[in-house]
């Protein structure tokens, strides 16, 4: 259906101004392209003008349409208005539109609209369009891509694969020639950085240089795609999009446990999980039949939005805000549109209505997680994030338990149940102490006060407390501090009982003088959160509670019981229906037999296995969806019309077979005829390798987004991606083995003048590397990098006071504690990501905060960046350790310099470079040989031990050389 | 990177190409680099064409941010009639359905807590202004202040409210006011950041409300516009100091070597970005000198320290930060924001508020006096205030001597001074309960975010007015992101002309 105008796409920009889509880009030079017979295309040429200058008042936003004229709607635009027409096809003379935009007196758009006047060229375009019949077309991005035929090219030799045909055809039509292939050193460095985020080792570079057999480069690509580093690197881009962080992101910004999701993404990338599955599991893994643990972990995607539990926050408000964030992140990542405008009203530019927004919103507002996170590490729902191999072990334990269950006899279980009775102990003599004030939550928790076994002086005054089981009592009338409650528990006979405790915030419990439970946590009183099995002696037992408040409300609630007995009592009411549960209790708590031993052993094994496995937040659908309403102005308390789940009208309909939930949404999304899903994705992947997407506005494929620089190529790649089974690895291989990618990044002044942004790809890519890659490269060159896939976020060197200057004292991320292990040299993607204060090195080099979805980083060049790579301790240390490394590995200045170049830039130095650096080396030697103390200070940087066999003077001198290399443009760039 | 910035960079590159052949020598390049930019107007570095939109009254802004929500009826909004209402229930018609945070929505009663602090009337340029005894120094400069008693916002919790006033949105992700200013107006001093953030020590100890890097982040605008924190401990600017054992000459030599290597790369590949990189390294080198010079207050006179108070000699205090702010102004820094935390008095107003005020009072007044004395108050806009106000009704136990107050968004007090803001006036009124904004006859005003309501100042209006004083039409300072033109005032905001000269 697009083939009719697809052939015109190649012509791309007819004129620079016509293409403009934004106020600012009006002045932005575009590639100057060959002029062609002026055929105006609505999508390419006209819509941007109407969208920019007219739609605000005469566009898709229905309510405030001026003069009953909607220029986006052909019926309205060409309506006969008492013999007059806004647009009369083929007749620009009688089209009021042109008259109004050229009028001397108060021309459109009006000055007070904030819109700019049309340029002469834009008016000319409108005129041509009308005279050519004023044909309207649906926005290109809403039409499913069709695989275009490969264009014919004059140069039959240059192309290596299909990509090149599209690129070359465009170059040829513009009278440009591609650059020659980059040299091998550049190629392997570029490919290795592109696929693993690290530079090649000198050995890898040498091997590639020596490999004279055909397909040497392709073999490098395959090796890199098979490396586990590939997943780590590829996942990193995803984490910007899903706003991955290790903290809640709002207010207290406490830690939360979701890194198993991060590790799942890495593994999924490494095994090349097809992208449609990759997307579907994240959106709706919980709704899949027979869902696996990893499919559940994947739904961490849904839970990734920032959350809060700020005192005073209102549930409904955050239920709405959380769903906004999920809706907008979903649409940005998968549909290339945010819909943010439509949160408050109909979209002014895109055909997305206010109702469409809430139809999509309704898919995301019915998960079971509480709107407020309780500041918890694991605000449920969450699961033990077993790895696939751990899952296997767990299954084998579960099978053993099942087999024991099958063998156990219901009658025996029932007989045993008859011997169990509830012996809830009695409590009495409750007293509460006067409170102990503290400056911080930590201090209040740690300080051993009077009533504690080691407490210094019992200066507290005890008062009688009317503590009722199951009812919260206030015990610490302080913002920050602790309070104590004590009482007596009387048991008729010695035995076990279950103590259940809820507290705001932390709690410690002593029974008969022994600490039996402690939970350092910031929480509000949720009834009876902790259960502790206690051994009571016959008669009176003393019990003591310490409740620590870290701010806001406080209190204590307890209850006593016997969980086993209570369950038995409940189950025996209907022994037939509950026979399995009864057998389970019997095996767990009944008399010791071979069978129960087997069961308990397996159970213990399972518990031990799970002990060190982290929890990960997952999505879980409510049994029946929450009602969704249109929210006027996007305010949670201004509820309008009730809406049903629906995809935006302009994007078609849900397939008949799809359930109306997130799973159905995923099924609709990943269909091959979805016009956006594949395009948006391949564009993002392309962006990784060329620094700019084919659609530059990777986050906006809507009316206001930028026209693709090569629409046919984009469509080809989108269709091919689906045909190749949604394989990201295949996609990368296609791109990296293209002649286009393999060009030298050299740019001639002529080419630069024609196409400063290299949108036509007349030379190879060149752009500054991302923050993570720059840091990892430096560590890798020195040999300091410690590689280990997954695990908890690490905390490297960080200037003192950064978190402290911001943090809420009650937050568990208010203070920064650096790791004191080799973990500080891990790859940057494993940085512990505190969303309200990410590591400064990352922010300085344009990493996003991860509070909102980002699919395209800005790429700046600032003095702060220079300060980081010159002075940040990790970089300085890396230069020292790299100096030691080259001194240990090779001897002779030339050889060492050569090695230093190979480690950092993957090539030997040029003669001129050698000359400069050899001169520098001599200078540093002479300097540091007379200043031993300085040399010694220089080489003392960092936690890693230095090699005492190497002289400080020599190490410091080489260190300066290594640091210089790590600050070169070549080191900081992808080229 | 944003299109405008790219355009500028490209212009720079093109000029570079225009003037130099590919084989440009280091000396020629160096000359270009050091000529202080390529623009005719040497004073404006960066910024958007067409900005400022009109002649600015303010060349710079100092924004004193009191994080947590200072209690307006204990500091600025004198409510003598409340003395008789002690422990009396807040009338329902006053509250009028206003939503309440969940910290007090469960309270059985909403008893009025009159301020325990004495107020005195001070002469200003109109009918005088009542100021709490907790602000004796600020009282001395009220002839310079425009006290706005009718600020309002919709947000009632800290994180959304402070994000709202700083970025124009309650949800994270948008650029902060200072970033907008940096983006729109650029800098006057390329050796210092355009937008500087200073954090202040709080005498009461660890404050109970958090700040977030997003409050001075540049959001979706490129990160060069983010606020740069000047720290009182360690390096004032992160990683400013060279490694131990390296002197300035060694750094200079290293940069010369680096310049040569980069220059060779430029010759080989012709990428103009190399030139930009060399320039950034040179700027970093100059910052290594200019920042310590800025931070070194040893040459300030004793008289100055006496003015700001003895704490001004202790780095990191609010007083020391105010003095630094003045020094930053003198060096052409556009937007300076000082954060002081701990203003969230849910309880212990009697104990905590005096300590909070003592931290800031003298220095606020000193800053005004110092700017006035040096002639800078005419073109420096000073803003004081927090994210919302506090309730007249008590949270927690109530006595005459002590009480707490919950968050209140419907009215609160801020003040502005200098740079064309009417000095010595009070703008806006509130009812006897300090609960609603009222007109001059005492009738309740229901302000709307959609249109300007005379007598009421929404936080968007405040931001529009701050930009207006900088010569910026807030509706024009936009940035296209994700298909939409964003601005600090979203689709709202009106310049409050009544408070401008």
Q: For A681-740, what is each residue's pLDDT tens digit?
A: 999 999 999 999 999 999 999 887 888 999 999 999 999 999 999 999 999 999 999 999
Looking at beta carbons, which residues of chain A come within 8 Å of B283? 863, 866
CA distance B280 to chain A (A): 5
Start-to-end Cα distance in chain B: 38
d(CA A289, CA A649): 29
User: Strand B405-408 vs strand B437-438: parallel, antiparallel, or unpaired?
Assistant: unpaired
Amino acid A706: pLDDT? 85
Distance CA A715, CA A6 (A): 10
Instruction: Give residue A458's pLDDT.
Output: 60
| Cβ atoms within 10 Å, residue A262 | 26
**A861 in B contact zone (CB under 8 Å):** yes
- Rounded to whole angstroms, the Cα distance separating A45 from A67 reads 25
Amino acid A170: pLDDT = 96
**∠ CA A940-A960-A963, rounded to 5°:** 95
DSSP classification of residue B500? B
Q: Is the pLDDT of residue A957 over 90?
A: yes
What distance in Å separates residue A294's CA from the closest CA in chain B? Answer: 30
List, for residues A360-376, the tens digit of each pLDDT value.
999 999 999 999 998 89
* Cβ neighbours of A219 (radius 10 Å): 14
**Cβ distance of B242 and A871 shorter than 8 Å:** yes
Instruction: Name residue, tokens 């320290």.
Output: B305
Q: Are A975 and A764 in contact (CB under 8 A)?
A: yes
Q: What is the pLDDT of residue A457?
A: 55
Question: What is the residue-wise DSSP string for A482-508?
Answer: EEEEEEEEEESSSEEEEEEEEEESEEE
- Per-residue pLDDT for B462 more than 50? yes
Q: Kindly list the residues from chain A whose CB atom is less than 8 angstroms away from the CB atom of residue B233.
A: 800-801
Tell me how far apart the alpha carbons of residues A214 and A659 are, in angstroms, rounded to a whole number.
51
Q: Is the Cβ of A332 closer than 8 Å to some Cβ of chain B?
A: yes
Per-residue pLDDT, A921: 98
- Does position A1 have pLDDT exceeding 70, yes or no? no
**Is the pLDDT confidence value at B18 over 60?**
no
Mean pLDDT across A925-949: 96
**Among A108-112, A510-514, B257-261, which stretch is predicted with the lowest mean pLDDT?**
A108-112
Report chain B residues whose CB lies below 8 A from the CB of A805: 199, 211, 229, 231
C-alpha A434/C-alpha B210 separation (Å) is: 29
Q: How far is CA A255 from the centre of its chain?
A: 16
Asked if omega into B52 is within 30° of 0 (cis), the reply is yes
On whether the CB atoms of residues A776 and A233 are closer than 8 A, the answer is: no
A241: preceding bond cis by omega (within 30 degrees) = no
Say which of A439, A697, A849 has its CB closest to residue B213. Answer: A849
Q: What is the mean pLDDT of residues A106-116?
A: 80
A657: left (phi over 0), alpha (psi -120 to 50) or beta: alpha
B243 or A552: whose pLDDT is higher? B243
- Please answer yes or no on whether B245 and A960 come within 8 Å at the CB atom: no
**Mean pLDDT within A591-604:** 93
State the average pLDDT over residues A79-96: 89
Would the pLDDT of B74 be above 90? yes
List CB contacts of A576: < 8 A, sequence separation 6 or more.
none
- In whole angstroms, give the CA distance from residue A761 to residue B127: 69
Minimum-distance CB partner of A836 among B214, B221, B241: B214
Which pLDDT value is given to residue A19? 29
Confidence label for B206 from pLDDT (cuts 50, 70 and 90): low
CB A542 within 8 A of CB A549: no
Using CB atoms within 10 A of its CB, is residue A190 exposed (0-12), middle (13-18) or buried (19+)? buried
Report CB contact under 8 Å: B231, A799: yes
**How many angstroms away from the CA of B266 is the closest CA of chain A?**
9
Does A852 lie at the interface with B, CB-CB under 8 angstroms? yes
Residue B316 has pLDDT above 90, yes or no: yes
| pLDDT averaged over every residue in chain A | 89
Candidates A477, A778, A805, A933: best to mutate against B (most CBs of B within 10 A) is: A805
Cβ contacts of A27 on chain B, cutoff 8 Å:
7, 49
Q: Pinpoint the alpha helices (H) of A639-726.
A: 662-669, 677-690, 711-723
What is d(CA A762, CA A749) in angstroms, rounded to the nearest whole number? 12
**CB A500, CB A475: distance < 8 Å:** no
Find the closest chain A residue to B288 by CA distance.
Answer: A867
Phi, psi of A254 (to 5 degrees): -65, 160
Task: Tell me what pLDDT residue A62 has.
Answer: 54
- DSSP β-ladder status, B145-152 and B412-417: antiparallel
Distance CA A556, CA A562 (A): 20
- Res B173: pLDDT: 86
Pick among B163, B208, B247, B261 to test the A interface (most A CBs inside 10 A) = B261
What contacts A1, CB < 8 A, 6 or more positions away?
Answer: A143, A146
Q: Using a CB-CB distance cutoff of 8 angstroms, which residues of chain B are in contact with residue A253? A: 210, 212
β-strand partners of B229? B197
Query: 3-class SS at A705?
Result: coil
What pLDDT shows up at residue A449?
81
For the residues A350-361, what does the mean pLDDT come to? 92
The confidence score (pLDDT) of residue A705 equals 83
A-chain residues near B22 (CB < 8 A): 749
Q: Write out pLDDT tens, residues A172-226.
A: 999 999 999 999 999 999 999 999 999 999 999 999 999 999 999 999 999 999 9
Pairwise CA distance, residues B486 & B80, whole Å? 44
B485 backbone dihedrals φ, ψ, rounded to 5°? -85, 115
Token reading at A12: 């791309």
Summarize the confidence of residues A447-463 as an average pLDDT. Answer: 74
pLDDT of residue B336: 97
A801 contacts B157? CB cut-off 8 A: no
- pLDDT of the residue at B162: 95
B25-61, pLDDT tens digit by residue?
333 333 333 333 333 334 678 889 999 999 999 999 9
User: Reduced to 3 states, what is the DSSP secondary structure of residue B115?
Assistant: coil
Task: Indicate if the alpha-carbon torsion angle A45, A49, A54, A60 is positive or negative.
Answer: positive
What is the mean pLDDT of the segment spanning A114-132? 87
- B114 compared with A58, residue with greater pLDDT: B114
Q: A843 and B223: CB-CB below 8 Å?
A: yes
pLDDT given at position A876: 98
The dihedral region occupied by A666, where left means phi > 0, alpha psi between -120 and 50, and beta the remainder, is alpha
**Which of these ranges, A124-138, A469-483, A664-678, B111-125, has the smallest mean pLDDT?**
A469-483
pLDDT digits (tens, 9 = 90+) for B364-423: 999 999 999 999 999 999 999 999 999 999 998 899 999 999 999 999 999 999 999 999
Q: Is pLDDT at A794 greater than 70 in this prediction? A: yes
Q: Place B487 in a pLDDT band, splitting at 50, 70 and 90.
A: very high
Say whether pLDDT at A29 is over 60: no
Res. A422 pLDDT band, cuts 50 70 90: low
| Residues of A (466-505) whose Cβ lies below 8 Å from B | 479
Percentage, residues of chain B above pLDDT 90: 71
Q: Hey, are the CB atoms on B205 and A702 less than 8 Å from each other?
A: no
A338 touches chain B (CB under 8 A): yes
User: Which residues does A387 contact at the CB level (< 8 Å), separation at least 6?
Assistant: none
Dist CA B186 CA A134 (whole Å): 43
Burial of A637-646, coded b for 16+ CB within 10 Å and e otherwise, reads eeeeeebebb
247-286 in A: which are within 8 Å (CB) of B?
Answer: 249-253
Tell me what ipTM this predicted complex has: 0.82
Sign of CA dihedral B152, B157, B162, B163: negative
What is the C-alpha to C-alpha distance for residues A639 and A656, in angstroms, rounded to an integer?
30
Using the Cβ of A553 and the Cβ atoms of chain B, whether some distance falls under 8 Å is answered with yes
Among A387, A267, A231, A252, residue whose Cα is nearest residue A306: A252
Q: Give the Cα separation of B270 and A365 in Å (integer).
A: 53
* Shortest Cα distance, chain A CAs vs residue B134, angstroms: 23
Q: What is the pLDDT of residue A459?
A: 58
Q: Which of residues 885-944 of A touch B (CB under 8 A)?
A: 910, 912-913, 916-917, 920, 923-924, 927, 933-941
Alpha carbon B137 to chain centroid, angstroms: 21
Name which residue leads in pLDDT, A478 or B6: A478
User: What CA–CA distance (Å, rounded) separates A245 from A847?
Assistant: 12
Rama region for B265: left / alpha / beta (φ>0; ψ in -120 to 50; rest): alpha
Give yes or no for a cis peptide into A505 (omega within 30° of 0): yes
> Which of A929, A751, A720 has its CA nearest to residue A150?
A720
Residue A382 pLDDT class (50, 70, 90 cuts)? very high
At B252, give phi and psi (nearest 5°).
-60, -45
Quick check: B142 pLDDT over 80?
yes
Average pLDDT over residues A789-816: 90
Predicted confidence at residue A113, as pLDDT, reads: 75
- Give pLDDT tens digits for B277-307: 898 999 999 999 999 999 999 999 999 999 9
pLDDT at residue number A197: 98
Least confident piece of the model among A103-117, A309-323, A847-861: A103-117
Instruction: Give B24's pLDDT tier (boundaries 50, 70, 90).
Output: very low
Please give the average per-residue pLDDT across B317-345, as a whole number: 96
**pLDDT digits 0-9 by tens, A895-929:** 999 999 999 999 999 999 999 999 999 999 999 99
Q: Which sign does the torsion angle of CA A194, A195, A199, A201 carry? A: negative
Burial A623-632 (b: 16+ CB within 10 A, else e): eebeebbbbe
pLDDT digit string (tens) for A623-662?
Answer: 999 999 999 988 999 999 999 999 998 888 899 999 999 9
Contact B101 A314 (CB under 8 A): yes
Mean pLDDT of chain B: 88
Distances (CA, A) of A53 to A19, A107, A567, A855: 13, 12, 70, 27
pLDDT at site A804: 87
**The pLDDT value given to residue A107:** 85
Instruction: Please give the pLDDT value at position B482.
Output: 74
Exposed/middle/buried for A730, CB within 10 Å: 0-12, 13-18, 19+?
middle
Closest approach of A28 to chain B, Cα-based (Å): 6
């Amino acid at each position: 259906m697009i083939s009719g105008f697809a052939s015109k796409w190649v012509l791309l920009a007819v004129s620079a101004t016509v293409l403009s889509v934004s106020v600012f880009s009006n002045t932005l030079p575009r590639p100057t392209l060959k002029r062609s017979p002026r055929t105006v295309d609505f999508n390419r040429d006209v819509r941007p003008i109407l969208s920019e200058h007219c739609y605000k008042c005469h566009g898709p936003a229905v309510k405030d349409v001026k003069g009953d004229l909607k220029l986006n709607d052909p019926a309205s635009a060409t309506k006969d208005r008492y013999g007059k027409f806004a647009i009369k096809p083929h007749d620009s003379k009688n089209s009021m539109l042109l008259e109004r935009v050229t009028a001397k007196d108060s021309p459109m758009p009006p000055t007070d609209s904030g819109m700019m006047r049309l340029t002469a060229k834009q008016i000319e375009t409108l005129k041509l369009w009308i005279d050519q019949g004023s044909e309207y077309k649906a926005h290109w991005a809403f039409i499913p891509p069709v695989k275009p035929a490969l264009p014919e090219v004059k140069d039959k030799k240059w192309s290596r694969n299909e990509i090149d045909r599209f690129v070359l055809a465009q170059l040829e039509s513009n009278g440009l020639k591609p650059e020659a292939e980059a040299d091998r050193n550049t190629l392997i460095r570029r490919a290795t950085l592109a696929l693993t985020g690290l530079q090649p080792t000198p050995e890898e570079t040498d091997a590639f240089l020596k490999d004279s057999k055909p397909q040497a480069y392709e073999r490098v690509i395959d090796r890199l795609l098979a490396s586990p580093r590939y997943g780590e690197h590829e996942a990193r881009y995803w984490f910007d999009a899903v706003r991955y962080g290790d903290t809640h992101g709002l207010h207290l910004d406490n830690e939360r446990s979701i890194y198993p999701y991060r590790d799942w993404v890495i593994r999924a990338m490494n095994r090349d999980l097809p992208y449609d599955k990759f997307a579907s599991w994240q959106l709706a893994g919980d709704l899949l039949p027979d869902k696996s643990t990893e499919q559940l972990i994947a739904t961490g995607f849904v839970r990734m939005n920032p959350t809060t539990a700020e005192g005073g926050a209102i549930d409904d408000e955050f239920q709405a805000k959380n769903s906004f964030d999920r809706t907008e992140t979903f649409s940005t990542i998968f549909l290339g549109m945010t819909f943010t405008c439509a949160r408050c009203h109909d979209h002014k530019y895109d055909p997305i209505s206010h109702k469409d927004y809430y139809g999509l919103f309704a898919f995301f507002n019915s998960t079971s997680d509480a709107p407020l996170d309780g500041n918890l590490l694991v605000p449920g729902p969450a699961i033990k994030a077993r790895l696939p191999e751990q899952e296997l072990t767990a299954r084998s334990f579960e099978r053993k338990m099942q087999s024991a269950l099958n063998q156990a006899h219901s009658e025996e279980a029932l007989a045993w149940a008859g011997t169990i009775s509830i012996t809830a102990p009695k409590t009495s003599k409750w007293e509460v102490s006067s409170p102990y004030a503290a400056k911080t939550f930590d201090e209040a928790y740690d300080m051993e006060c009077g009533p504690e076994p080691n407490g210094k002086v019992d200066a507290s005054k005890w008062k009688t407390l009317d503590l009722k089981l199951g009812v919260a009592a206030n015990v610490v009338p302080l913002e920050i501090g602790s309070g104590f409650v004590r009482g007596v528990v009387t048991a008729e006979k010695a035995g076990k009982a279950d103590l259940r405790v809820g507290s705001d915030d932390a709690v410690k419990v002593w029974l008969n003088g022994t600490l039996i439970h402690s939970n350092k946590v910031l929480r509000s009183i949720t009834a009876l959160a902790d259960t502790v099995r206690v051994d009571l002696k016959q008669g009176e037992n003393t019990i003591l509670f310490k409740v620590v408040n870290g701010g806001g409300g406080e209190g204590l609630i307890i209850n006593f019981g016997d969980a086993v007995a209570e369950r038995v009592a409940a189950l025996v009411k209907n022994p037939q229906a509950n026979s399995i549960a009864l057998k389970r209790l019997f095996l767990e708590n009944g008399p010791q037999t071979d069978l129960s031993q087997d069961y308990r052993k397996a159970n213990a094994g399972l518990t031990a296995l799970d002990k060190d496995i982290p929890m990960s937040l997952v999505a879980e659908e409510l049994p029946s969806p929450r009602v969704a309403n249109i929210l006027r102005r996007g305010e949670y308390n201004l509820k309008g019309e009730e809406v049903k789940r629906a995809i935006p009208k302009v994007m078609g309909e849900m397939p008949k077979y799809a359930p109306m939930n997130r799973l159905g949404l995923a099924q609709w999304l990943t269909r091959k005829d979805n016009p956006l899903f594949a395009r948006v994705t391949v564009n993002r992947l392309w962006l990784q390798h060329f620094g700019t997407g084919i659609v530059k506005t990777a986050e906006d494929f809507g009316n206001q987004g930028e026209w693709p620089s090569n629409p046919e190529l984009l469509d080809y790649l989108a269709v091919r991606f689906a045909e190749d089974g949604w394989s990201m690895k295949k996609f990368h291989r296609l791109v990296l083995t293209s002649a286009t990618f393999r060009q030298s990044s050299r740019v001639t002044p002529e080419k630069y003048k024609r196409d400063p942004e290299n949108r036509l790809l007349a030379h190879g890519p060149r752009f500054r590397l991302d923050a993570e890659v720059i840091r990892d490269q430096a560590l890798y060159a020195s040999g300091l990098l410690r590689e280990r896939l997954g695990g908890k976020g690490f905390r490297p060197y960080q200037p003192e006071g950064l978190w402290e200057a911001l943090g809420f004292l009650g937050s568990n991320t208010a203070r920064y504690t650096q790791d004191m292990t080799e973990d500080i040299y891990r790859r940057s993607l494993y940085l512990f990501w505190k969303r309200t204060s990410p590591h400064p090195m990352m922010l300085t080099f344009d990493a996003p905060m991860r509070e909102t979805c980002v699919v395209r980083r800005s790429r700046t060049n600032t003095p702060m960046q220079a300060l980081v790579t010159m002075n940040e301790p990790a970089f300085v240390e890396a230069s020292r350790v790299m100096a030691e490394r080259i001194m240990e590995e090779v001897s002779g200045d030339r050889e060492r310099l050569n090695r230093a170049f190979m480690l950092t830039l993957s090539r030997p130095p040029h003669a001129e470079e050698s000359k400069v650096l050899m001169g520098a080396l001599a200078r540093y030697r002479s300097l540091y040989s007379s200043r031993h103390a300085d040399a010694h200070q220089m080489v003392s940087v960092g936690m890693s031990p230095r090699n005492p066999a190497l002289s400080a003077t020599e190490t410091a001198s080489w260190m300066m050389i290594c640091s210089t290399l790590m600050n070169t443009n070549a080191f900081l760039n992808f080229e | 990177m944003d299109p405008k910035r790219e355009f500028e960079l490209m212009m720079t590159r093109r000029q570079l190409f225009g003037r130099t052949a590919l084989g440009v020598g280091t000396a020629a390049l160096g000359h270009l680099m050091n000529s202080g930019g390529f623009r005719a107007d040497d004073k404006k570095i960066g910024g958007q064409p067409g900005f400022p939109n009109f002649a600015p009254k303010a060349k710079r802004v100092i924004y004193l941010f009191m994080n947590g929500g200072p209690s307006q009826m204990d500091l600025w909004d004198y409510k003598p009639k409340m003395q008789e209402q002690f422990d009396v229930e807040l009338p329902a018609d006053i509250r009028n359905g206003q939503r309440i945070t969940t910290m007090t929505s469960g309270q059985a009663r909403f008893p009025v807590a009159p301020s325990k602090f004495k107020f005195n009337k001070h002469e200003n340029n109109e009918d005088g202004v009542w100021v709490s005894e907790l602000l004796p120094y600020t009282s001395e400069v009220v002839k310079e202040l425009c006290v706005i008693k009718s600020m309002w916002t919709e947000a009632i919790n800290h994180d959304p409210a402070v994000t709202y006033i700083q970025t124009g949105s309650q949800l994270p992700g948008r650029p902060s006011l200072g970033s907008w200013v940096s983006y729109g107006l650029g800098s006057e001093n390329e050796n210092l950041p355009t937008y500087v953030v200073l954090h202040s020590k709080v005498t009461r100890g660890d404050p109970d409300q958090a700040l977030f890097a997003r409050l001075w982040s540049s959001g979706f605008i490129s990160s060069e516009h983010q606020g740069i924190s000047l720290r009182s401990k360690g390096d004032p600017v992160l990683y400013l100091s060279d490694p131990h054992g390296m002197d300035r000459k060694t750094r200079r030599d290293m940069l010369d070597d680096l310049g040569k290597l980069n220059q060779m790369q430029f010759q080989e590949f012709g990428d103009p970005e190399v030139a930009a990189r060399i320039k950034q390294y040179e700027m970093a080198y100059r910052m290594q000198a200019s920042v310590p010079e800025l931070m070194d207050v040893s040459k300030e006179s004793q008289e100055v320290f006496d003015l700001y108070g003895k704490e001004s000699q202790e780095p990191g205090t609010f007083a020391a930060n105010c003095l630094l702010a003045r020094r930053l102004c003198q060096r052409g820094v556009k937007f300076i924001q000082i954060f002081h935390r701990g203003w969230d008095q849910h309880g212990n107003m009697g104990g905590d508020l005096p300590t909070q005020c003592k931290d800031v009072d003298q220095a606020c007044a000193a800053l005004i006096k110092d700017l006035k004395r040096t002639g800078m108050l005419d073109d420096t806009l000073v803003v004081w205030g927090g994210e919302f106000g506090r309730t007249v009704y008590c949270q927690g136990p109530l006595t005459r001597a002590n009480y707490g107050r919950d968050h209140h968004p419907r009215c609160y007090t801020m003040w502005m001074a200098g740079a064309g803001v009417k000095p010595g006036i009070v703008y806006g009124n509130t009812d006897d309960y300090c609960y609603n904004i009222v007109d001059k006859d005492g009738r309740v005003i229901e302000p709307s975010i959609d249109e300007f309501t005379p007598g009421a100042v929404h936080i968007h209006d405040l931001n529009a007015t701050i930009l207006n004083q900088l010569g910026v039409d807030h509706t024009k300072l936009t940035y296209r992101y994700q298909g939409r033109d964003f601005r600090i005032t979203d689709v709202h905001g009106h310049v409050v002309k009544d408070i401008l000269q």
